[in-house]
Amino acid sequence: MADLNIPNLNIKSDKYIFKKKLNLRRKSKRRLFIESFFLFILSVLLFYINYLIPNKNLLLQNLPSTFNKSFLLVVDLFSNLYEIFLVIFIFVSSFFALILMIGSFYRLLRVSKRKSKQIIYK
């Protein structure tokens, strides 16, 4: 019993448990400059890619109608999925009902043909 270590639940957890593991050093000016340069290059690349897209104004003007068509397609898809799942349920339930009916007739047939061999022992 002396080897049993019971944890003390009254000890509050240490608030700064990961404080020593954090890197609190500042970044050097050179590293900050390099990071800002990469950010600038990335932004220029994105602007160039946007510039290469043809008919931007037409795409932006047709955006509401495109959203409307997409929404109608999604609604139509869900209504069709409902019908498909309903047909699948009809086939599966009919198959199980047929199996249960065959099983019940088979059991009735075996019960009706059973020979009565009840021997009464006194």
> pTM for the complete prediction?
0.42
Between CA 81 and CA 71 the distance in angstroms is 15
Q: What 3-state DSSP class applies to 22?
A: coil
Label residue 18 by pLDDT band (50, 70, 90): low
Q: Which two tokens stand for residue 18?
A: 């990961």
What would the DSSP string read from start to end of 42-55? HHHHHHHHHHHSS-
For residue range 23-56, what is the model confidence (pLDDT) as tens digits? 667 888 888 999 999 999 999 999 999 999 999 8
For the chain, the domains span: 19-55+67-112
Integer Rg of the chain from CA: 38
